[in-house]
């Protein structure tokens, strides 16, 4: 983003933190970090549950602060971020290379427009792909389409890719969601709860890129996802409109 008067990069009107999510992603991370438009963000921070493959050294070499998450899981990382981020907005970026860093400036613009939740949608472009080369039956793709359809039907989310990890929030809105899903269900839970609360959701068209290196974690194995996402969807249905207020106390 450029300031028209002097051509120098500037921070957006309301400041944004970019949260990098990683667990043993050194090979992808070394390629990804130089591509990040760090000037868009007041703060770039990594949340990591204790990588042992050199990931932490890569962050140190790039001067990126790492917050150690005590318990594994993307949901636990989201909750940790909601507690520590000091800016008004937050963007979550996976470090495996699947999420295109060229989308970041657009995401900041949508946050500037006041959307509570901004989601990368992988099914909005006719030629868009998701990275499912290792899933010949396309269980992940069709499961996601079905799950997102249910969320549109039940909670009027208007979203076609309810579970994508590439997403951003106004931090106040993120806190209001009281997320408690520990693992990869957190994205689905945040889409459903934002819709339940009538928040403004923007889904933008993105293309999922191939992993830059490393491997999928066991927490994202296809049948684990099917089982856990089904359970969490059912749970949101049973819990009703704003149940987490009582649940979270």
Ligand X SMILES: Nc1nc2c(ncn2[C@@H]2O[C@H](COP(=O)(O)OP(=O)(O)OP(=O)(O)O)[C@@H](O)[C@H]2O)c(=O)[nH]1
d(CA 125, CA 109): 20
33-63 exposure pattern, b = at least 16 Cβ within 10 A, e = fewer: beebeeebbebbbbbbbebeeebbebbeeee
Which residue in the set 12, 30, 45, 74 belongs to the binding site for ligand X (CB under 6 A)? 74
Between β-strands 117-121 and 16-21, what pairing exists: parallel, antiparallel or unpaired?
unpaired
# binding residues, ligand X (CB under 6 A):
22
Partner whose footprint covers residue 48, from Mg ion, ligand X, none (CB < 5 to 8 Å by kind): ligand X
- Contact partner at residue 72 from Mg ion, ligand X, none, CB < 5 to 8 Å by partner kind: ligand X
Member of 25, 96, 161, 203 binding Mg ion (CB under 5 A): 96
What binding mask, one character per residue, do residues 44-83 give for Mg ion by CB under 5 A, x or -? ----------------------------------------
Residues with Cβ < 8 Å from 218, sequence gap 6 or more? 224
Write each residue from 96 to 135 as x if it is in contact with ligand X (CB under 6 A), else as -, in one continuous string.
x-x--------------------------------x----
207 sits near ligand X (criterion: CB under 6 A): no
CB 125, CB 205: distance < 8 Å:
yes
CB of 162 to ligand X, least distance (A): 14
Return the range that interacts with ligand X (CB under 6 A); candidates 30-38, 66-74, 156-164, 185-193: 66-74
Stretch of 8-16, 145-153, 211-219, 237-245 contacting ligand X, by CB under 6 A:
211-219
**Token digits for 144?**
């996601």
227: Cβ–Cβ under 8 A, 6 or more apart, which residues?
A: none
**d(Cα 108, Cα 40) in Å, to the nearest integer?**
8
Residues that bind Mg ion (CB under 5 A): 96, 98
């Amino acid at each position: 983003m450029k300031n028209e008067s002097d051509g120098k990069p500037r921070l957006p009107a309301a400041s944004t933190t970019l949260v990098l999510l990683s667990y043993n992603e050194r090979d992808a991370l070394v390629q990804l970090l130089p591509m990040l438009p760090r000037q868009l963000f007041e703060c770039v921070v990594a949340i990591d549950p204790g990588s042992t493959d050199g990931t932490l050294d890569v962050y140190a070499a790039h001067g990126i602060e790492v917050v150690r998450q005590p318990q594994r899981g993307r949901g636990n990382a989201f909750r940790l971020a909601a507690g520590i981020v000091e800016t008004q907005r937050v963007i979550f970026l996976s470090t495996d290379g699947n999420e295109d860093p060229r989308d970041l400036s657009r995401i900041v613009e949508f946050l500037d427009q006041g959307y509570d939740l901004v989601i990368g949608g992988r099914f909005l472009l006719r030629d868009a792909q998701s990275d499912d080369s290792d899933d010949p039956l396309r269980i992940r793709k069709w499961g996601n389409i079905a799950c997102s359809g249910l969320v549109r039907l039940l909670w009027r989310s208007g979203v076609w890719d309810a579970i994508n990890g590439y997403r951003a929030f106004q931090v106040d809105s993120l806190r209001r969601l009281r997320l408690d899903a520990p693992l990869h269900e957190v994205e689905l839970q945040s889409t459903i709860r934002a819709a339940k609360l009538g928040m403004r959701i923007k889904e933008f068209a993105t293309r999922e890129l191939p992993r830059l290196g490393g491997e999928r974690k066991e927490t994202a194995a296809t049948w684990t996802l099917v089982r856990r996402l089904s359970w969490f969807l059912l749970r949101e249905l049973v819990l009703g409109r704003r149940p987490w207020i009582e649940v979270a106390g």
